[in-house]
Amino acid sequence: MRAFVVAKYKAPLQVADVPEPIVGEHDVLVQVEAAGLNPLDEKIRTGEFKQILPYKLPLILGNDVAGTVIRVGKAVRGFKPGDEVYARPDAGRIGTFAERIAVAEGYLAHKPASISMQEAGSLPLVALTAWQALVERGRVRPGQKVLIHAGAGGVGSIAIQLAKHLGASVATTASGSNADFVRELGADTVIDYRTQDFEHLLAGYDLVLDGLSGENLEKSLRVLKPGGKAIGIAGPPDPAFALEAGLNPLLRLAIAGLSSKIRKQAKKLGVTYEFLFMRASGDQLRQITALVDEGALRPVVGKVFGFDQTPQALQSLSQGGIRGKAVITGNN
């Protein structure tokens, strides 16, 4: 089958003829009809995550999938051929920039009935990230104040909607041209990051979801109220992540060093910092499916590329300007 692979770190994506996926007894073979693009794909391609995600090269890229079940392993009970499904495959078995992929049953969910394959393909990674940040880690409750950075982006556009559904008052940063768009998603307060400094305009927040890191993360700590929490999805990784990932003691020490400055700043301010590297979960996707079909969440697909345009599509992420997600489609 055809797939887009990275043969060596930093090399461009290239199309290749690769073996058909091996379908284990707990696996579901999916015909890929749409695959979302994520900054994670580019970070894997450049080798940025090779210490914590030690993939064997050549590697098929792609972390989001929506498609139709072709066949199932003998132990699979929840899916059958013809089912429309979506998933964020397990981090160890990615590869959605391909004609077909085998996904473990536990990471798969039935596609929301109310949306298209392209919209479903855009959702898993960003929706699971938002869910794990706001519901699982943040435990957002009605009346709380939540700041979501980059509200017009993939994670931000879903996180705004989810935070509103949870009853929070939501502030977000976005460009002036995206102000109306993020308000439509549910943002109560919009900060134009090009002309305004959110640190001087916001205070007393319960939770910040930060996908930018660096100075932006440091400022985010200062808008939290005592006991508040900043969750970073762009890093730096923290010791809890290193422990959970089962990294060796040397790597754990190095990772502790990477986040020591921000953790010290947080402690001094009476707040906390946590790094979130989202994990695949079919159970959480099923809860997200319900919210989509109820109308509480709507996917945002900003651009669609054909399968043959996958390398250019990945390149386009670094140029910015795409609302929500970019999606690859038409690869069968």
Give the pLDDT confidence score for residue 235 in this predicted structure: 86
The answer to whether 31 touches 99, Cβ cutoff 8 Å, is yes
pLDDT of residue 54: 84
Position 126 scores a pLDDT of 98
pTM of the model: 0.97
- Cα 202 from chain centre: 26
Q: What is the pLDDT of residue 2?
A: 97
Quick one: tokens of 249? 């003691």
Over the range 134-158, which residues count as b (16 or more CB within 10 Å of their CB) and which as e? bbeebebeeebbbbbbbbbbbbbbb
SS3 (DSSP) at 11? coil
Query: First CA to last CA across the chain, in angstroms?
Result: 10
How far, in Å, CA of 36 to CA of 53, rounded? 20
With CA atoms as reference, report the closest residue to 37 among 328, 298, 233.
Answer: 328
Q: Are 78 and 285 in contact (CB under 8 A)?
A: no
pLDDT of 217 reads 98
Please state, in angstroms and rounded to a whole number, the distance separating the CA atoms of residues 76 and 79: 7
The whole-number pLDDT of residue 45 equals 96
Query: Pairing mode, if any, of strands 205-210 and 27-36?
Result: unpaired
* Distance between CA atoms of residues 54 and 70, nearest Å: 29
C-beta of residue 114 within 8 angstroms of C-beta of residue 292 = yes
For the chain, list residues with pLDDT below 70: 331-332
d(CA 295, CA 4): 34
Can you give the pLDDT at residue 52? 81
Residue pLDDT, tens place only, 290-309: 999 999 999 999 999 999 99
> Dihedral (C-alpha) 233, 239, 242, 247: value to the nearest 10 degrees?
160
The pLDDT tens digits of the residues spanning 12-66 come to: 999 999 999 999 999 999 999 999 999 999 999 999 888 888 899 999 999 999 9
For residue 151 the two structure tokens come to: 């509200």
How long a stretch of residues is the chain? 332
Domains and CATH numbers, the chain: 2-122+300-329 (3.90.180.10), 125-275 (3.40.50.720)
Contact 95, 89 (CB under 8 A): yes
Query: In this predicted structure, what is the pLDDT of residue 332?
Result: 45
pLDDT at 330: 72
